[in-house]
Amino acid sequence: MEGRALPRDAREPGAGDNSLGQLPEWNLDDLYKGTADPRIAGDLDWLATECAAFARDYEGRLGELDAAEMLTAVQRYERIELVSGRVMSFAGLRYYQCTTDPERAKFLGDTQGKLTDMTTALVFTSLELNRIEEARIATLMAASPELARYKPVFDRIRAMKPYQLSDELEKFLHDQSVVGAAAWNRLFDETMAALTFDVEGETLSLEATLNLLTDRDRAKREAGAKALATVFQANLPLFARITNTLAKEKEIEDRWRKMPTPQTGRHLANQVEPEVVEALRDAVVAAYPKLSHRYYALKAKWMGLEKLQVWDRNAPLPRDDDRLIPWAEARETVLAAYAGFDPRMAEIAEPFFDKGWIDAPVKPGKAPGAFAHPTVTDVHPYVLLNYLGKQRDVMTLAHELGHGVHQVLAAGQGEMLSSTPLTLAETASVFGEMLTFRRLLDATADPAHRKLMLASKVEDMINTVVRQIAFYDFECKLHAARREGELTPDDINALWMSVQAESLGPVFEFMEGYETFWSYIPHFIHSPFYVYAYAFGDGLVNALYAVYEEGDPGFQEKYFEMLRAGGSKHHKELLAPFGLDASDPKFWDKGLGLIASMIDELEAMEG
């Protein structure tokens, strides 16, 4: 599920605030009409039969198939992915609506277990495809244009060829995944959802406590930060155990697969070359002084402080507009921004609001943060928010709807080709945010309000680029250190602090307890090294937006074509029509230059 890293989405409590208007909730009927829907049992029965039949028909002979037979096999496999994806989407989305409900957790766990058992029969597919000679694959593709359309799928599978294990070991890994990473992931999610924080006598959830870090009252921000540190510290042994176990499990599997680095698997999944990611990482780290260090020094000056504390990082700026934005206004703002770019974009986004495709209110047990889940290509995406009426929440809506638009457009590629690598999956979401921001900025005549808007956007971009690359560096250090042995909570804390001071800059002081804040970030648990995709997407969009502002002829059509491509093309091929190339180290400097230019403008306003 694509979504935003939790730390980017600081909000404040107010779920029951009627001034926000009627907030929409999901209607999952387009997947299934409840857990008793007979179609669930029917689909599971079909999957059990079809998985066994697929194995019976093809195991041991995939390399012998002609083009027509291979096409049939691929289409049958795609149908299995579609049906299993529908069942898991339903189970997963129900669970995320209330992660503390034992019945929902059981339904998800049981469904996951059944599907894992059924699909073990399919593990041979990628193993046998990887044993076919390259020349044979080329011959098959040349013989059938319909099959050739699936070449990117074959390329993705065959990228794993050097790291493939024996058939027996691959089946074992597939089978035990339910009690491995998936089980530890659930333990983390359920623990986080159940945490409570005592803030000045009031008991709050994680989301509500994190939201205090954006409160106008500095004393409340401090109280929130200290409450977080107290609870994280109390639970640190468990979070360290989860982190150690998952990192060790990954190290073992990577070692058996002979993967050269802990990041290799993520780069392969993202279809991005390691050197491209390193160029991005190096460019951002080199830019820390002219981005985050410079901006936070300005923020300290605005706040009248010599030093910033960690609870000041996401503080509202003096004279910031703390008006709560009703849901209807948020909807109108985003749809108008989308329509201003191209009416088709607003038309695709509109049904999300009217048909139960968005779950917006904050509710007990609901998953924190925000995401857009594409479900399957014959249904539609669902968007999860925790909407509390802040301007940042409107940007989050624009972001997640961007994902939704992308997923709707890419669905035409079919189940196997619609999914976009994480590095490109952030393109439409960040672009949607930028459209919304620029529309609001252009409508602002008051210099003081313009300054606040620019500063807010700079903060968001720093959270997206600087902070996520710092997270990536933390993970790199963590996984390297875990290869040397078990890490104590203090060891992990020290790694966290080593990237915080470097990325945030000398104006910050770090309270006692901040060293534990790594523990609540879900991406470290669910998707190791995912975080660089945010920085990749932001840099890519900044470069794209520059091309758009320059009046590139036919930009909108080229943009829609890029989104429609889904995962069917490599990033080089997708960016070429815009004259962009992410493998060029200077490419990243363009995006970082846009952030720096906004800080230049803010500094000029000081004069």
pLDDT at residue number 607: 56
What number is the average pLDDT over the span 102-125?
94
DSSP state of 311: G
Cα dist from 250 to 244, 468, 493, whole Å: 10, 21, 20
Of 169 and 55, the structure prediction assigns the larger pLDDT to: 55
The rounded percent of the chain whose pLDDT value lies above 70 is 96
Q: Is the predicted pLDDT of residue 165 greater than 80, yes or no?
A: no
What number is the average pLDDT over the span 50-61?
96
* Start-to-end CA span in the chain (Å): 45
Least confidently predicted of 7-11, 44-48, 114-118, 419-423: 7-11
Q: Is the predicted pLDDT of residue 167 greater than 90, yes or no?
A: no
Q: Is the predicted pLDDT of residue 270 greater than 70, yes or no?
A: yes
User: Predicted confidence band at 7 (pLDDT cuts at 50, 70, 90)?
Assistant: very low
Q: Is the predicted pLDDT of residue 5 greater than 90, yes or no?
A: no
Give the C-alpha separation, 37 to 34, whole Å.
6
pLDDT at residue number 587: 87
Work out the angle between the directed axes of helices 466-482 and 274-287 (0-180°, nearest 10).
120
Give the C-alpha separation, 303 to 301, whole Å.
5
User: Predicted confidence band at 125 (pLDDT cuts at 50, 70, 90)?
Assistant: very high
**What are the two backbone dihedrals, phi and then psi, of residue 110, each rounded to the nearest 5 degrees?**
-65, -40
Name the one residue in this structure whose structure tokens are 């030093």: 307
Least confidently predicted of 33-47, 70-84, 154-168, 546-560: 154-168
The 10s digit of each residue's pLDDT in 293-350 is 999 999 999 999 999 999 999 998 877 666 889 999 999 999 999 999 999 999 999 9
What number is the average pLDDT over the span 396-417?
96
Sequence-ordered alpha helix ranges (H) in 484-564: 489-504, 522-526, 532-549, 555-564
- For the chain, the average pLDDT equals 91
* Type of residue numbered 145: P
CB < 8 Å & 24+ apart, contacts of 36-40 = 40/87, 40/90
pLDDT at residue number 9: 31
pLDDT at residue number 274: 93
Q: Is the predicted pLDDT of residue 511 greater than 90, yes or no?
A: yes
Helix (H, G, I), strand (E, B) or coil at 199: strand
For residue 197, the surrounding DSSP H or E stretch is: strand 197-199
Name the one residue in this structure whose structure tokens are 């190339």: 581
Sequence-ordered alpha helix ranges (H) in 288-390: 292-302, 327-341, 343-354
Give the C-alpha separation, 63 to 131, whole Å.
8
204 - beta bridge partners? Answer: 197
What domains, with CATH codes, occur in the chain? 30-162 (1.20.140.70)
Helix (H, G, I), strand (E, B) or coil at 534: helix
pLDDT at residue number 15: 40
Give the C-alpha separation, 300 to 90, whole Å.
46
User: Predicted confidence band at 16 (pLDDT cuts at 50, 70, 90)?
Assistant: very low
* Type of residue numbered 467: R
User: Predicted confidence band at 6 (pLDDT cuts at 50, 70, 90)?
Assistant: very low
Q: How many other CB atoms are found less than 10 A from the CB of residue 25? A: 13
Give the C-alpha separation, 64 to 365, whole Å.
51
Name the residue among 2, 128, 6, 104 with its Cα closest to residue 55: 128
CB < 8 Å & 24+ apart, contacts of 485-491 = 486/244, 487/240, 487/243, 487/244, 487/247, 488/240, 489/236, 489/237, 489/239, 489/240, 489/516
Of 525 and 173, the structure prediction assigns the larger pLDDT to: 525
Of 332 and 537, the structure prediction assigns the larger pLDDT to: 332
What number is the average pLDDT over the span 188-202?
93
**What are the two backbone dihedrals, phi and then psi, of residue 384, each rounded to the nearest 5 degrees?**
-110, 130
Strands 308-309 and 508-509: parallel
Q: Is the predicted pLDDT of residue 155 greater than 70, yes or no?
A: yes
Name the residue among 426, 432, 406, 511 with its Cα closest to residue 468: 426
The 10s digit of each residue's pLDDT in 439-472 is 988 888 888 888 988 998 999 899 989 999 999 9
Give the chain's length: 607
What number is the average pLDDT over the span 226-237?
97
Contacts of 277 (CB under 8 A, 6+ apart): 263, 267, 532, 536
Name the residue among 393, 210, 456, 451 with its Cα closest to residue 311: 210
pLDDT at residue number 4: 34
Helix (H, G, I), strand (E, B) or coil at 342: coil
Give the C-alpha separation, 77 to 127, whole Å.
14
pLDDT at residue number 321: 66
